[in-house]
Amino acid sequence: METPLSWIKAFVPDLNCTDSEFADAMTLSGTKVEGYRRLDKNLENIVVGKILKIEKHPDADKLIVCQVDVGEKTTQIVTGAPNVKEGDLVPVVLDGGKVAGDHDGGNPENGVKIKAGKLRGIESNGMMCSIEELGSTRDIYPEAPEYGIYILPPDAPVGSDAIAFMGLDDTVFEYEITSNRVDCYSVMGIAREAAATFNLPFKYPDVKEAGNDEKTEDYISVEIKDRDLCSRYVARVVKDVKIGPSPDWMKKRLRASGIRPINNLVDITNYVMLEYGQPMHAFDYSTIADKKIIVKRAKDGDIFTTLDGVERKLDSEVLMICDGQKEVGIAGIMGGENSMITEDVKTVLFEAATFNGTNIRKSARRVGLRTDASGIFEKGLDANNALAAMQRACSLVEELGCGVVIGGKVDVYDSLPEPKRIPFEPDRINSYLGTDISREDMISYLKRVEVEYDASSKELVCPTFRQDLLGFADTSEEVARFFGYDKIPVTFPDDPECVGSLPFKLRVEELARNVAESFGFSQGFCYSFESPAVFDKLMLPADAPERKAITISNPLGVDFSIMRTLSLNGILTSLSTNFNRKNKDVRLYELGNIYIPESLPLEKLPDERMQLTFGFYGEGDFYTMKGVIEEFLLKAGMNKRPHYDPESGRPYLHPGRQADIIYENEKIGFIGQVHPLTCKAYDMAKAEVYVAVLDMPKITQKAVFDRKYSGIAKFPAVSRDISILVPKEVLEGSIEDMIIQRGGKILESCTLFDIYEGDQIVTSHKSMAFNIVFRNREKTLSDDEVNAAMKKILNGLSSMGIELRS
Amino acid sequence: MIMENLQSIQEKALKQIEEAGALDALNEVRVAILGKKGELTSVLKSMKDVSAEERPKIGAMVNEARDQIEKALEEAKQKMEAAALNERLKREKIDVTLPASKEPKGHRHPNTIALEELERIFIGMGYEVVEGPEIEKDYYNFEALNIPEGHPAKDEQDTFYINGDILLRTQTSGTQVHEMEKGRLPIKMISPGRVFRADEVDATHSPSFHQVEGLVIDKNISFSDLKGTLVEFARKLFGEDTKVKFRPHHFPFTEPSAEMDVSCFKCKGKGCRFCKGEGWIEILGCGMVHPHVLEMSGVDPHEYTGFAFGVGLERIALLKYEIDDMRLLYENDIRFLNQF
């Protein structure tokens, strides 16, 4: 909402403050000023000049030499403008003055300084201004020539300040209006807030009861068929219409509000819409069949041409304004081409109606046409305002002399909103705000916004335009706003019972971050939604359960259309970004949810599972990744040995370099090298990428942060190294399993320290060497005990086809 | 005779010690004088020829000579060792300005750094951290927050829908309702999490971002408590000299509502490019929990009151770390992440 301060002052005549004071005060009382600009920014020393004489420039075909009366003197100005003639009144910037725009249509920050000089040898003591040089546009000043000087109207006083004359000595404020304050989408609403903010009287506009002694009923009848969508329809008629320009005061206000003046009739509807926040429509009465207006829903598939000449497809939820035979307008959105006002209109039918805001919003969206009017209607207007706006419009018609207003009105409604009554509870308000405001002060704050105190019922009576005032909390806010949020004290909740804490799940996630980062992995953030094409990149078969993903019904595009069921895509995409930007040795991790539906289409909320995803390329290999995982598990107190099942069968991983991670017989995640084809699909064919994913709900279940000290071993350990010959297909993990199982209680650790294939070893076998450590925590171990344990281990290994190397 | 002998042995020894250039030479002196077959030892051996009365006197003299020599030997040894050590240390001199060798560590995402800072502040003030679902029922995201069907706020938020009833939450405020429904009062919680809105990706928008919701419900919670809490928060996050301004605003689920601005931490409120010349930066929305919201979630608004607030995490991260493009947060370019 953009409004000139001068218009606000018309309602609050005593308002006297600087622009910044106004902006600050309004913002602090709840009408947020987004910004403001002086209309005369960079306009200096510009007066009304009268062109007395025009001569050709002796040395330039395209230039003319003008003698211009600028009040105290006549000065010579050379111009190339083609449109001026003797007798014209023009804005003239004198030597040393400034204009806002340059010749190329730009608006330099500090304007353009104008100095006297010579043009092709002829003295020129200033410049006549185009509308662009005055910092405006032909959009707002349609009468300005496309190329040339802006010609002022004949009543402009020669020598006077042209900026003041044009109404540019004003400031336009832009407000952010919150959706609850429908009443503030109007100059009057903002002015009312200004009056309340500065505690000054508010002056309503001067509205005269317009109309001759004819009756509107004789001209028009109105029937509302769909009363759920239209709660009020006010119609009035103006005959003997004289279309012409609006007066300057109205044009200035429209222009400053960013609206282009068109003609008196159109300007009045626009003016009233800005002033009252009530959109109006004007029909050419001669096009209305059967003197009848019917408000009803369209039929599915109806085609209707709006006044912008575009055919619109309608459906049965779009409300239409019809005459006795046809549709003449889309209610609240735009009128029809078939009933629009033209220059030779004789009689006009004015409409001021109240439509269902939600319906207008949805219709505008479906029809694909959002207008200024629909933008206001969709907020849901006060039906009482419709008549007030109509009366204002008719009063203006008479004031501007643009027609004869027919007496009376046709006003159809079931019921009108009544002022809301809210119990006045000053003590509760004070305890709610933490303040100590007197009852009388509260009443006076509320009175400023026309909320009256009814002493007999101890109730507050709220005007109907304040649809947001519904209960105790709302009245508290009104009191708080005008008492001043800044004056409310600063205290703390008194709550000895509350103790701050981070839940276990988040502590495990924090640990994951710490461990990941200690291994050089940096944290990435990835999107939750992705493209279904991801499944193909990951080479998942058509019946893979991961493909059963939740679909967003209105996504930003197919690339963001499904909720991810596995987390790899994010990290692979990020690795690819880095790889293609030539970043070396990149290690990333991510903590983010996947979304697993119980069934599709979705009936219950899905299972949101936090995934800890690691990915890297560059330095490191499968075992690097394994080290990260095991360190994390260990730090999470999961100190049992994880197992790795190479038969995990994940198509997106290297078939010989992948494993499910098994802990306490439960799958908690997987690890592997990314399949070269998947790498290629992610545009990093040349990268060797390793990933691992841990399913955090499982980790959170198994993690323990409690630690118990078990003493430092007092008795010596016995260490034995064995070198064994192992059939190639036997996994190292299964050897460790066997050693641990056979080693018994006294086994402290077993560690692989050498692995060798090649010369001196039969090709079907590999050589491995383990260091096995025994210890009894209670006593010193005897050789016999250790030998017995070793024997058991070797027997076990031998059952796996493993021999001791000599 | 023995006495002269002793004298000359001692003098010779001291001279040799003084002349010894290395530890080996010293050792030779020791062996030659004090060793089993050493000169001094042989003097001792010849003690048997000395008369009984003279023996103690001679004995004392021998011991005296031995002590002197040993002392000289020790001193010389220490001197040599010190010199050798100095020599070694000199040799071991390194160029301390050579590059450090580092274990490369990963970097935390700025969002997380900001979140952890927020969490620390609020946990310190007694808040519990709770989470809510990202895919949510319409009821919790809208209706229970005073945003019924047809409410303009529902449209303003450009919601991603799964179906008519299930959506991607547009705000973390739904966790307020979940917490209240648990029926455990008082409540003092913050709830961080991911939210979604149908905004195209650009420098200042992302279809997915993060909020931190706050909720306090107890008997006698007032707007002044809200102010106190958030002023404290702002000072902890942006510095003790931060000024705070509350402006009336509108949120359907709070009344009165406010937006909180903090004085620009870059220019300290003077106005700069960073705060667009205003000296203030908008940080969060807040307000007293709407009585109707309390009621809908089973909390009696006559007995209990509360306040709520919502902070945009990315907004804090972008401001605090002066990141000029939101897209950087989701690209995960290591050259960006390495700066945190």
Give strand pairing partners of A398: none
Report if residue A636 sits inside a domain.
Answer: yes
Arithmetic mean of pLDDT, B249-256 = 95
- From chain A, the residues in CB contact with B104 under 8 A are 520
Domain residues for the domain of B318 are 110-337
Structural domain includes residue B98: no
Claim to verify: residue A231 and residue A327 sit in the same structural domain: yes
N- to C-terminal Cα separation, chain A: 92
The CATH number of residue A766's host domain is: 3.30.70.380
Question: How high does pLDDT run on average in chain B?
Answer: 91
Distance of CA B144 to the CA centre of its chain: 40
Residue of chain B nearest A429, judged by CA positions:
B222
Give the residue among A230, A350, A234 at the shortest CA–CA distance from A285. Answer: A350
Nearest to B160 among A472, A480, A555 (CB): A555
pLDDT at B211: 97
Q: How many CB atoms lie within 10 A of CB A13?
A: 12
Whether residue B205 is predicted with pLDDT greater than 70 in this model: the reply is: yes
Are A523 and B337 inside 8 Å of each other by CB?
A: yes
Token couple for A262:
């068109």
Q: Is the pLDDT at B275 greater than 90, yes or no?
A: no
Q: Are A619 and A498 in contact (CB under 8 A)?
A: no
Q: Of B29, B64, B91, which marks where a domain is finished?
A: B91
Token pair, residue A164, equals 């003041």
Write down the pLDDT at residue A805: 86
Of B109, B160, B252, the CB nearest to A525: B109
CA distance A498 to A490: 20
Tokens of A676: 């070269």
- Answer whether residue A205 is part of any domain: no
Shared domain check, B146 and B76? no
Are residues A249 and A236 part of one domain? yes
Are the Cβ atoms of B224 and A481 closer than 8 angstroms? no
> Is A630 found in the same domain as A570?
yes
DSSP E strand stretches across A675-801:
689-695, 718-727, 747-756, 765-774
Cα nearest neighbour of B233 on chain A: A492
pLDDT tens digits, A137-146? 888 888 889 8
Q: Which of A474, A550, A577 sits opposite B255 (nearest CB)?
A: A474
User: Closest residue of B to A180, CA-based?
Assistant: B250
Q: For residue B232, is it within any domain?
A: yes
Q: Give yes or no: residues A359 and A435 share one domain.
A: no
Please indicate, yes or no, whether residues A674 and A528 belong to a single structural domain of this protein: yes
Counting Cα atoms < 13 Å in the Cβ hemisphere of A488 gives 33
pLDDT at residue B156 tops 70: no
Q: Which residues contact B136 (CB under 8 A, 6 or more apart)?
A: A605, B166, B167, B168, B169, B174
Chain B residues with beta carbon closer than 8 angstroms to that of A606: 135
Q: A28: which chain B residues are within 8 Å (Cβ-Cβ)? A: 245, 247-248
From A193, A536, A526, A708, select the one nearest B248 (Cα to Cα): A193
For residues A192 and A93, membership in a common domain is answered with no
Give the single-character DSSP code of A656.
Answer: E
Residues of chain A with pLDDT under 50: none
- The CATH number that applies at residue A583 is 3.30.930.10
**E strand or H helix that includes residue A46:** strand A44-56
CB-based contact B225 A492, cutoff 8 Å: yes
Residue B223 belongs to some domain of the structure: yes
CB–CB of A529 and B207 under 8 A? yes
**A311-313 and A303-305 beta bridge pairing:** antiparallel
Calculate how close chain B gets to A432, using CA atoms only, in Å. 5
Residue range B9-26, pLDDT digits in tens: 888 888 888 888 888 888
Residue B179: pLDDT band with limits 50, 70, 90: very high
Nearest CA in chain B to A375: B152
A293 and A354 share one domain: yes
Torsional class of A115: left (φ above 0), alpha (ψ -120 to 50), beta (otherwise): beta
Which structural domain, as residue segments, surrounds residue A799?
718-804
Predicted structure pTM score = 0.86
DSSP bridge partners of B209 = B195
**Residues A684-733: tens digit of each pLDDT:** 999 999 999 999 999 999 999 999 998 888 999 999 999 999 999 999 99
| Shortest alpha-carbon distance between residue B255 and chain A (Å) | 6
What CA dihedral angle connects A434, A439, A442 and A446, to 10 degrees? 140
Same domain for B254 and B160: yes
- Same domain, residue pair B229 and B155: yes
pLDDT at residue B157 in the model: 63
For residue B96, being part of any structural domain is answered with no
Q: Is A624 on the interface with B (CB under 8 A)?
A: no
Q: Is residue A493 part of a domain?
A: no
d(CA B216, CA B301): 13
For residue B311 the two structure tokens come to 């902070």
User: In Å, how far is B328's CA from the nearest CA of chain A?
Assistant: 10
Would you tell me which residues 627-646 of chain A have a C-beta closer than 8 angstroms to some C-beta of chain B?
A: none
Whether residue B307 is contained in a domain is answered as yes
B231 neighbourhood in chain A, CB within 8 Å = 490
Are the C-beta atoms of A360 and A226 separated by less than 8 Å? no
Distance CA A221, CA A431 (A): 54
Give pLDDT, residue A688. 96
- For residue A429, the 8-state DSSP code is H
Q: Is the ipTM of this complex over 0.90?
A: no
Mutate to test the interface with A, among B134, B135, B326 (most CBs of A within 10 A): B135
Indicate the number of domains in chain B: 2
Is residue B154 domain-shared with residue B20, that is, in the same domain? no
From chain B, pick out residues whose CB is under 8 angstroms from the CB of A506: 129, 131
Q: Which of A165, A181, A205 is the last residue of a domain?
A: A165
- The β-bridge partners of B307 are B216, B288
Using left for φ > 0, alpha for ψ between -120 and 50, and beta otherwise, residue A627 falls in alpha
Say which CATH number the domain at A242 has: 3.50.40.10
Q: Which of B140, B218, B247, B327 to mutate to test the interface with A (most CBs of A within 10 A)?
A: B247
Question: pLDDT value at position A79?
Answer: 92
Q: Are residues B26 and B136 in the same domain?
A: no
Residue A126 DSSP symbol: E
Nearest residue of A to residue B259 by CA position? Answer: A30
Report CB contact under 8 Å: A502, B123.
Answer: yes
Residues 405-424 of A with CB under 8 A from B: none
For residue B171, is it within any domain?
Answer: yes
Q: Domain ends where: B63, B91, B119?
A: B91
User: For residue A142, what is the domain's CATH number?
Assistant: 2.40.50.140
Number of domains in chain A: 6
| CATH code assigned at B265 | 3.30.930.10
Buried b (16+ CB within 10 A) or exposed e, A690-713: bbbbbbbbbbbebbeeeeeeeeee
Assess whether B123 and B82 both reside in one domain: no
Residue where the block lists tokens 């058991």? A792
Q: Which residues are CB-neighbours of B262 under 8 A, at least 6 positions away?
A: B234, B238, B242, B243, B244, B245, B280, B281, B283
Cβ-Cβ contacts under 8 Å, A578 against chain B: 332-334
